[in-house]
């Protein structure tokens, strides 16, 4: 997924014999592998790697400070919070990664940092709000299928933000293309203020308020968390509507036994494989009326799990963020590496003049890059808005700064680097938030200090970022 | 040609003459300005604008006596953006306008603390409708007064209430790292410990949007109750996210929760939340009915919490200036004289109760309220249920009473 490596160096070392093997090469050049398996595998690898490293560090800290505060056994707390921290890290990590793509793509082609990008993100969050609010004002937003409503919201936010980014490029950056590099940088910072105050003015005039709350009150499916048990086996509690349950009737002694607990789990089985359990309120169970099943997963009876213990609640919006981000990143990878236009963008990022001589319309490719970057930022904005519930014109600043950090951490100009940087930063932040609490005199307010110390440390040893290549000659 | 020149000279002379006449006339009625400082933009502007409007309404309605004494009373609102440095820079502008004799403000203690130092250097009196941080008055500045209660009493009232709730044994305390939020959270913590509650955590956060990471340890510690010393723009979002992440306990907060915007931000998750307040909804004050109606007529929207307090603050300031004018034989008083007169006010009957300042500028007896959010509909905010009212004397007054 790199825009920089067009001709990878011939593989050397231990892997060379494997990589030059004709069967391996056939697989590597296969469409399915290049555009589906490899990018998704890469994401899973990054997430698992970051989570694993942070887990090891967390337990090491717990080993050094077993009881940072009286009655708090740090290792126990980490065990309890681990899935929650990992999930929250993935959620915020994908948001950072999607914003970071905008910075890194533009840097790739123009070698300048588009500081107005955080405001494109903010505009996306507002457009998402406008779409939902307009529908909600019409009434019946709750009746629209979430599989239409949410993609529609995100796509409209992407289109508007992408277009805005193109307009900004045309109006503010293109006339300055020959100017010294500091000039567009200052323009970008100016544009950033312009967008903040512009959105604030528009929102204040049209809505009489610029703290805007997504109408998620009317979308109950976004608000009920998905419980996930990790005691013995990881159980996803997805309600895969339409599947038929293999069931037993709940009556007599069974029912009495169940009603002691707050919730029982109704099995979700697809093709004979039990995927998970949907929690059912025991008060809703009446003898003989509905059928329920005690489900067995990984040799454990899910209903034996103590109420409330070791059940992590996942917010539905985080699941939506992850699904959307993965889908969009896979599409981006295909676009950049699998299409003619993507090849054009790569060519422009390598050498603008030569690309122009080869018949590539450089201006159009740059506009396209801004559109893609803006669309990713806007999509991330709408998803972020959906997740946090409330947007203000100032909401872009911190995610923007952090995503820029993520882009630098991963190696600016490198698309895979943006993904890695975003996921790493999200994971580091989430683990710090989860563990600093237990240290007296420290606490969550120091999360950013530690997160940025990690950044400085990495940059000392790898000045061009985790995946960045050393660029000897700049344009 | 010659006549034209003559005409021109004549015109200029007439213009100059009329200008000087106007100038002399302007000197005849002296201008007294009353400034307000509150956030008019930014996330907390809903309360800030209500403070400005209420003070403006008071100046319009209550300056008849001063005008009869030959003064023109003007109202100048400033936007402190809820930011200390903006507040201080406004304060410098305010003290340099010699016509300004008093300030009504601020909303945020963090802004009021540094700004009041600037006022004090110029002997300019400030009456605060909303600043509850103890250091506002405990510094003993002659110019600084407040008509509302204090964080130590408010935090303690919240903790006593939390301890009285059934099944609450453990609490988790959050604050927004500002002078206000940290202050009230610390007083809550101290009283909660004294009441025998276990404090599972004490955390500050400036996060404004995504609380996922902050919620994780809370879910692991499973506190019965979360106390969040902060302002609704942050706490409403937090509560919304904490509920949808699966937290099922009780939320308690200080008067920073007190805005109809809280209902909108927190949604259904916020229903049932308890908060302490130094300013009850306008409906609680029997005297404020007319004010609420006037406000709605003038500004086309309902008055927010602290509106009635801002009206009273402006009224006290006007009464103080009038007293200073009378003591000064009808001449324009100095700022120091105004400050002295304001502090000397005793038994002022305002919309929100009786105001008498003690030597530090605290109201001798302030009211504290415990309320519960009843609905996720922001229009229902003024109907929040009042669970109890406590009258707590200020520390100095309590000492004097023995």
- Give the DSSP letter string of A122-144: HHHHHHHHHHHHHHHHHS-GGGS
Chain A residue numbers touching B269 (CB-CB < 8 A): 223
Judge whether residue B63 has pLDDT over 80. Answer: yes
Determine whether the interchain pair B217/A395 forms a contact, defined as Cβ–Cβ distance below 8 Å: no
Residues 84-103 of A with CB under 8 A from B: 84-85, 88-89, 91-92
Please state, for a pLDDT cut of 70, what percent of chain A lies above it.
77
| Highest-pLDDT range among A5-14, A87-96, B26-35 | A87-96
Higher local confidence (pLDDT), A339 or B15: A339
CA dihedral in degrees (A372, A378, A382, A384; nearest 10)?
A: 100
Beta bridge partners of A280: A264
- Give the DSSP letter string of A360-411: --HHHHHHHHHHHHHHHHHHHHHHHHHHHSEE-TTTTHHHHHHHHHHHHHH-
Beta bridge partners of B357: B363
Q: Could you tell me if residue B13 is inside a domain?
A: no
Chain A residue numbers touching B214 (CB-CB < 8 A): 433, 444
User: pTM for the complete prediction?
Assistant: 0.74
Interface of B with A (CB under 8 A): 41-43, 46, 177, 201-206, 208-217, 219-222, 233, 236-237, 240-241, 243-246, 261, 264-265, 267-269, 376
Interface check A77 vs B, CB under 8 A: yes
Nearest residue on chain A to B234, alpha-carbon basis: A390
Helix (H) / strand (E) containing B274: strand B274-277
Q: Where are the alpha helices (DSSP H) in A208-266?
A: 220-223, 252-259
Interval A424-472: pLDDT, tens: 999 999 998 888 888 877 777 788 888 888 888 888 888 888 887 655 4
Q: Please indicate, yes or no, whether residues B233 and B376 belong to a single structural domain of this protein.
A: yes
Q: Please indicate, yes or no, whether residues A87 and A156 belong to a single structural domain of this protein.
A: yes
Judge whether residue A367 has pLDDT over 90. Answer: yes
Interval A371-389: pLDDT, tens: 999 999 999 999 999 988 8
Q: Please indicate, yes or no, whether residues B187 and B272 belong to a single structural domain of this protein.
A: yes
Determine whether the interchain pair B204/A443 forms a contact, defined as Cβ–Cβ distance below 8 Å: yes
Judge whether residue B297 has pLDDT over 50. Answer: yes
The residue segments making up the domain with residue A271 are 226-314
Of the candidates B179, B195, B94, the residue with the CA atom closest to the CA atom of residue B143: B94
Higher local confidence (pLDDT), A216 or A378: A378
From residue B238, give the alpha-carbon distance in Å to each of B94, B198, B327: 36, 22, 52
- Segment among A120-124, A159-163, A283-287, B198-202 with least mean pLDDT: A283-287
Nearest residue on chain B to A76, alpha-carbon basis: B220
Strand order, beta sheet including B365-372: B198-204, B170-175, B225-229, B250-253, B274-277, B365-372, B385-393
Determine whether the interchain pair A315/B208 forms a contact, defined as Cβ–Cβ distance below 8 Å: no
Determine whether the interchain pair B245/A389 forms a contact, defined as Cβ–Cβ distance below 8 Å: no
CA distance B143 to B361: 8
Of the candidates B55, B69, B199, B137, the residue with the CA atom closest to the CA atom of residue A70: B199
Q: Please indicate, yes or no, whether residues A82 and A173 belong to a single structural domain of this protein.
A: yes
Q: Please indicate, yes or no, whether residues B109 and B166 belong to a single structural domain of this protein.
A: no
Interval B211-267: pLDDT, tens: 888 888 898 888 999 999 999 989 999 998 898 888 889 999 998 898 888 988 888
- Per-residue pLDDT, averaged over B102-112, amounts to 92
Q: Could you tell me if residue A391 is inside a domain?
A: yes
Q: Could you tell me if residue A64 is inside a domain?
A: no
Determine whether the interchain pair B220/A92 forms a contact, defined as Cβ–Cβ distance below 8 Å: no
Q: Could you tell me if residue A183 is inside a domain?
A: yes
User: What is the number of structural domains in chain A?
Assistant: 2
CA distance A217 to A299: 39
Q: Label residue A363 by pLDDT band (50, 70, 90).
A: very high
Give the per-residue pLDDT at A338: 87
Q: Please indicate, yes or no, whether residues A281 and A358 belong to a single structural domain of this protein.
A: no
Determine whether the interchain pair A213/B264 forms a contact, defined as Cβ–Cβ distance below 8 Å: yes
CATH of the domain at A85: 1.10.3470
Closest CB to A445 among B43, B205, B216: B205
Higher local confidence (pLDDT), A468 or B111: B111
Q: What angle do CA A412, A413, A418 make, to 5 degrees?
A: 60
- Segment among B11-20, B312-321, B348-357 with least mean pLDDT: B11-20
Nearest residue on chain A to B214, alpha-carbon basis: A433
Q: Please indicate, yes or no, whether residues A125 and A172 belong to a single structural domain of this protein.
A: yes
Give the per-residue pLDDT at A193: 93
Determine whether the interchain pair A213/B204 forms a contact, defined as Cβ–Cβ distance below 8 Å: no
- Segment among A44-48, B42-46, B48-52, B369-373 with least mean pLDDT: B42-46
Q: Please indicate, yes or no, whether residues B58 and B32 belong to a single structural domain of this protein.
A: yes
Q: Please indicate, yes or no, whether residues A105 and A232 belong to a single structural domain of this protein.
A: no
Interval A259-278: pLDDT, tens: 444 445 555 444 444 444 55
Q: Please indicate, yes or no, whether residues A346 and A203 belong to a single structural domain of this protein.
A: yes
Chain A residue numbers touching B202 (CB-CB < 8 A): 443
Q: What is chain A's mean pLDDT, rounded? A: 79
Residues 222-281 of A with CB under 8 A from B: 222-225, 227
Judge whether residue A235 has pLDDT over 60. Answer: no
Beta bridge partners of B367: B391
Chain A residue numbers touching B244 (CB-CB < 8 A): 222-225, 315-317
| Highest-pLDDT range among A437-446, B10-19, B324-333, B387-396 | B324-333
Determine whether the interchain pair B220/A430 forms a contact, defined as Cβ–Cβ distance below 8 Å: no
Determine the number of helices (DSSP H) and then strands (DSSP E) in chain B: 15, 14
Judge whether residue B327 has pLDDT over 70. Answer: yes
Q: Could you tell me if residue A69 is inside a domain?
A: no
Determine whether the interchain pair B236/A390 forms a contact, defined as Cβ–Cβ distance below 8 Å: yes
Nearest residue on chain A to B172, alpha-carbon basis: A437
Please state, for a pLDDT cut of 90, what percent of chain B lies above it.
51
Cβ-based neighbours of A353, under 8 Å, separated by 6 or more: none
Residues 388-417 of A with CB under 8 A from B: 388-390, 392, 394-395, 398-399
Q: Please indicate, yes or no, whether residues B48 and B107 belong to a single structural domain of this protein.
A: yes
Give the per-residue pLDDT at A15: 66
Residue A328 Cα, gap to closest chain B Cα (Å): 22
- Per-residue pLDDT, averaged over A291-311, amounts to 43
ipTM of the complex: 0.71
Q: Does residue A380 contact residue A98 with C-beta atoms inside 8 Å?
A: yes
Q: Could you tell me if residue B118 is inside a domain?
A: yes
The residue segments making up the domain with residue B192 are 152-277+369-401
Q: Please indicate, yes or no, whether residues A133 and A265 belong to a single structural domain of this protein.
A: no
User: What is the number of structural domains in chain B?
Assistant: 2
Q: Tell me whether residue A8 is exposed, middle or buried, using C-beta atoms within 10 angstroms of its C-beta: 0 to 12, 13 to 18, 19 or more.
A: exposed
Q: Please indicate, yes or no, whether residues A168 and A238 belong to a single structural domain of this protein.
A: no
Q: Label residue A223 by pLDDT band (50, 70, 90).
A: confident
CA distance A148 to A128: 14
Q: Could you tell me if residue A169 is inside a domain?
A: yes
Judge whether residue A89 has pLDDT over 70. Answer: yes
Chain B residue numbers touching A390 (CB-CB < 8 A): 209, 236-237, 240, 265
CA distance B352 to B206: 33
Q: Please indicate, yes or no, whether residues A81 and A204 belong to a single structural domain of this protein.
A: yes
Cβ-based neighbours of A205, under 8 Å, separated by 6 or more: none
Q: Please indicate, yes or no, whether residues A109 and A186 belong to a single structural domain of this protein.
A: yes
- Give the DSSP letter string of A410-470: H-TT-HHHHHHHHHHHHHHHHHHHHHGGGSTT--GGGHHHHHHHHHHHHHHH-TT-SSPPP
Determine whether the interchain pair A395/B236 forms a contact, defined as Cβ–Cβ distance below 8 Å: no
CA distance B29 to B37: 26
Residue B203 Cα, gap to closest chain A Cα (Å): 6
Q: Could you tell me if residue A431 is inside a domain?
A: yes
Of the candidates A202, A218, A35, A243, the residue with the CA atom closest to the CA atom of residue A135: A218
Q: Please indicate, yes or no, whether residues A245 and A183 belong to a single structural domain of this protein.
A: no
Q: Please indicate, yes or no, whether residues A273 and A319 belong to a single structural domain of this protein.
A: no
Chain A residue numbers touching B267 (CB-CB < 8 A): 213, 216-217, 389
Judge whether residue A280 has pLDDT over 60. Answer: no
CA distance B29 to B19: 16
Q: Please indicate, yes or no, whether residues B244 and B390 belong to a single structural domain of this protein.
A: yes
Determine whether the interchain pair A389/B210 forms a contact, defined as Cβ–Cβ distance below 8 Å: no
CA distance A457 to A463: 10
Judge whether residue B144 has pLDDT over 90. Answer: yes
Of the candidates B43, B213, B177, the residue with the CA atom closest to the CA atom of residue A96: B213
CA distance A194 to A223: 34
Residue B185 Cα, gap to closest chain A Cα (Å): 15
Cα B234 to the chain's mean position, in Å?
Answer: 18
Instruction: Write down which residue in A262, A282, A314 finishes a domain.
Output: A314
Cβ-based neighbours of B216, under 8 Å, separated by 6 or more: A81, A84, A85, A88, A430, A433, A434
CA distance B374 to B357: 34
Chain B residue numbers touching A83 (CB-CB < 8 A): none
Higher local confidence (pLDDT), B48 or A220: B48
CATH of the domain at B218: 3.40.50.2300
Q: Please indicate, yes or no, whether residues B356 and B380 belong to a single structural domain of this protein.
A: no
CA dihedral sign, ordered A143, A144, A150, A153? negative
Q: Could you tell me if residue A33 is inside a domain?
A: no
């Amino acid at each position: 997924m790199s825009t920089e490596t067009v001709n990878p160096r011939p593989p050397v070392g231990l892997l060379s014999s494997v990589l030059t093997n004709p069967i391996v090469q056939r697989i590597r050049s296969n469409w399915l592998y290049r555009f589906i398996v490899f990018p998704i595998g890469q994401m899973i690898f990054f997430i698992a790697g970051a989570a694993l490293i942070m887990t090891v560090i967390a337990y090491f800290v717990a080993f050094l400070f077993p009881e940072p505060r009286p009655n708090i056994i740090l290792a126990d707390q980490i065990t309890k919070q681990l899935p929650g921290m990992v999930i929250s890290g993935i959620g915020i990590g994908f948001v950072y990664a999607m914003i970071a793509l905008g910075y890194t793509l533009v840097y790739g082609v123009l070698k300048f940092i588009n500081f107005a990008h955080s405001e494109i993100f903010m505009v996306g969050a507002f457009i998402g709000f406008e779409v939902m609010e307009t529908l909600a004002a019409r009434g019946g937003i709750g009746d629209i299928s979430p599989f239409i409503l949410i993609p529609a919201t995100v796509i409209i936010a992407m289109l508007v933000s992408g277009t805005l980014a193109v307009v900004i490029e045309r109006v503010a950056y293109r006339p300055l293309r020959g100017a010294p590099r500091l000039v567009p940088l200052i323009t970008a910072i100016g544009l950033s203020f312009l967008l903040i105050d512009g959105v604030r003015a528009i929102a204040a005039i049209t809505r009489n308020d610029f703290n805007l709350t997504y109408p998620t009150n009317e979308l109950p499916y976004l608000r009920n968390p998905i419980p996930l048990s990790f005691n013995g086996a990881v159980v996803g509690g997805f309600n895969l509507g339409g599947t038929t349950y293999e069931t037993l009737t709940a009556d007599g002694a069974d029912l009495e036994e169940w009603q002691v607990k707050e919730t029982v789990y109704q099995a979700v089985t697809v093709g004979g494989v039990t995927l998970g359990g949907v929690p059912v309120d025991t008060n809703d169970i009446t003898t003989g009326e509905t059928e329920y099943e005690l489900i067995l997963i990984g040799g454990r009876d899910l209903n034996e799990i103590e109420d409330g213990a070791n059940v992590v609640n996942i917010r539905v919006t985080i699941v939506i963020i992850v699904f959307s981000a993965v889908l969009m990143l896979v599409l981006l990878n295909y676009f950049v590496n699998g299409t003619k236009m993507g090849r054009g963008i790569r060519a422009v990022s390598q050498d603008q003049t030569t690309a122009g001589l080869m018949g590539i319309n450089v201006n159009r490719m740059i506009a396209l890059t801004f559109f893609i970057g803006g669309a990713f930022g806007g999509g991330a904005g709408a998803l972020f808005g959906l997740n946090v519930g409330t947007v203000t014109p100032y909401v872009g600043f911190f995610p923007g700064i952090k995503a820029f950090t993520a882009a630098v951490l991963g190696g600016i100009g490198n698309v895979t680097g943006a993904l890695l940087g975003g996921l790493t930063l999200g994971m580091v932040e989430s683990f710090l938030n989860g563990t600093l609490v237990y240290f007296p005199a420290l606490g969550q307010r120091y999360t950013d200090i530690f997160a940025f110390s990690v950044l400085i440390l990495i940059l000392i040893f790898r000045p061009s970022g985790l995946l960045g290549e050393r660029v000897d000659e700049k344009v | 040609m010659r006549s034209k020149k003559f005409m021109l000279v004549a015109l200029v002379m007439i213009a100059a003459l009329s200008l000087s006449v106007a100038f002399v006339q302007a000197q005849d009625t002296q201008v007294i300005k009353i400034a307000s400082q509150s956030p008019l933009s930014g996330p907390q502007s809903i309360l800030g604008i209500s403070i400005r409007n209420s003070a403006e309404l008071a100046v319009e309605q209550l300056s008849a006596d001063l005008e009869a004494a030959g003064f023109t009373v003007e109202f100048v609102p400033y936007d402190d953006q809820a930011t200390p440095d903006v507040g201080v820079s406004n304060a410098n502008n305010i003290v340099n306008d010699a016509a300004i004799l008093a300030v009504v403000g601020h909303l945020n203690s963090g802004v009021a603390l540094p700004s009041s130092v600037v006022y004090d250097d110029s002997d300019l009196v400030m009456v605060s409708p909303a600043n509850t941080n103890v250091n506002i008055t405990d510094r003993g500045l002659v110019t600084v007064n407040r008509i509302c209660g204090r964080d130590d009493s408010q935090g303690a009232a919240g903790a006593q209430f939390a301890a009285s709730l059934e099944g609450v044994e453990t609490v988790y305390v959050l604050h927004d790292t500002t002078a206000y939020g940290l202050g009230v959270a610390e007083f809550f913590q101290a009283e909660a410990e004294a009441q025998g509650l276990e404090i599972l955590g004490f955390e500050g956060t400036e996060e404004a949007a995504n609380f996922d990471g902050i919620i994780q340890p809370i879910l692991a510690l499973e506190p019965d109750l979360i106390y969040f010393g902060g302002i609704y723009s942050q706490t409403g979002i937090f509560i919304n996210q904490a509920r949808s992440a699966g937290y099922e306990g009780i939320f308690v907060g200080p008067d920073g929760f007190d805005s109809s915007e809280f209902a909108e931000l927190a949604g259904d998750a916020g229903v049932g939340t308890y908060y302490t307040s130094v300013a009850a909804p306008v409906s609680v004050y029997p005297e404020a009915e007319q004010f609420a109606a006037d406000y709605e007529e003038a500004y086309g929207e309902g008055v927010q919490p602290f509106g009635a307090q801002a009206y009273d603050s402006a009224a006290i300031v006007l009464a103080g200036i009038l007293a200073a004018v009378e003591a000064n034989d009808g001449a324009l008083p100095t700022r120091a004289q105004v400050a002295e007169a304001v502090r000397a006010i005793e038994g002022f009957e305002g919309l929100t109760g009786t105001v008498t300042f003690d030597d530090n500028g605290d109201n001798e007896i302030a009211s504290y309220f415990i309320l519960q959010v009843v609905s996720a509909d922001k229009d229902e905010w003024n109907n929040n249920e009042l669970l109890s009212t406590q009258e707590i004397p200020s520390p100095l007054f309590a000492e004097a009473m023995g």
